[in-house]
Amino acid sequence: MLSAFLLAAAASVAAANPTVTFDTSMGSFSAELYLDRVPRTASNFVDLAKSGFYNGLHFHRVIDGFMNQFGCPHSKDPSSTRAGTGGPPDGTFVNLATGATETRSNGGNIKDENISRDSNVPYSLSMANTGAPDSGGSQFFINVAHNSNLDWFSGGSSRHPVFGRVTAGREVVLAISRVRTSNDNPAAPLVKREAAVEPSRSLLGASRRQRYRSNKGDKEGEL
């Protein structure tokens, strides 16, 4: 009886988190977004995805045995020398867990959310940044190895909060990590055609409150 109750409770928590499906030129994969653990970071991603921000962008940094990085607006042109240096527009978005208004500023950056001790395990989604505090925006990477040195709680200089994990199509993520590259950029352009979010209960309640303002701004997009 107790085991059944615990399983039902776990399923209820999981159901509260939204899922995103990425359609790429190498296939599709899906990920759970940890709205229950890092609500600001997950809500920021959901807002950008629902606005179409990620559609048509290219993976701009792929390192076999390490990670696949994505989310720079300049990567819409896969040959751009600025790919990896851009961020989202400044503006506001709704925290889907609390209903509060959150802000993107100083080149589309959000405040670091170092509250959940999820490690950078294989297939986890993690925020990219410049190495400075509060410098993450739209760029993220998918780990293909356990990169514990990137954990914000590792004690090192790298601080990258995990905000989700791939739940389906992991073979696609792995195949992407193994493509031929030149200076870590895929030799053949690898586009993400769409990032479609499947609403959770939280999303359904907050969707009408979401706002998105588009004042352009750039930021460095280093891992």
- The whole-number pLDDT of residue 216 equals 39
Q: What is the predicted pLDDT for the residue at 199?
A: 78
The string of pLDDT tens digits covering residues 42-65 is: 999 999 999 999 999 999 999 999
Q: Tell me, what's the pLDDT at 16?
A: 84
Query: Which pLDDT score, from 0 to 100, does residue 222 have?
Result: 54
The whole-number pLDDT of residue 197 equals 97
Token couple for 62:
């792929």
- Please check whether residue 59 is in contact with residue 194, taking contact to mean a CB–CB distance below 8 angstroms: no
Q: What residues of the chain score a pLDDT lower than 50?
A: 1-14, 207-221
Domains of the chain: 18-209 (2.40.100.10)
pLDDT at 1: 47
Q: Report pLDDT for 79.
A: 95
- Predicted pLDDT of residue 93: 99
Give CA–CA dist 74/86, Å, rounded.
6
Query: Rg for the chain (alpha carbons), in Å?
Result: 17
Asked if 114 and 220 touch (Cβ cutoff 8 Å), the reply is no
pLDDT tens per residue, range 200-218: 755 555 544 443 333 334 4
Q: Are 127 and 136 in contact (CB under 8 A)?
A: yes
DSSP class per residue in the chain: -HHHHHHHHHHHHHHHS-EEEEEETTEEEEEEE-TTT-HHHHHHHHHHHHTTTTTTEE--EEETTTEEEE--GGGGSTT-TTTTSB-PPBEEEE-TTT--EEEEBTTTBB---TT------TTEEEE---SSTT-BSS-EEEESS--GGG-TTSSSS----EEEEEEE-HHHHHHHHTS-EETTEESS--EEEEEEEEP-HHHHHHGGG-----B--B-----
Q: Which two tokens stand for residue 92?
A: 């506001």
The contacts of residue 183 (CB under 8 Å, 6+ apart) are none
- d(C-alpha 127, C-alpha 159), whole Å: 9
The label of the residue with tokens 């607006």 reads 73
Dihedral over Cα of 55, 141, 99, 198: its sign: positive
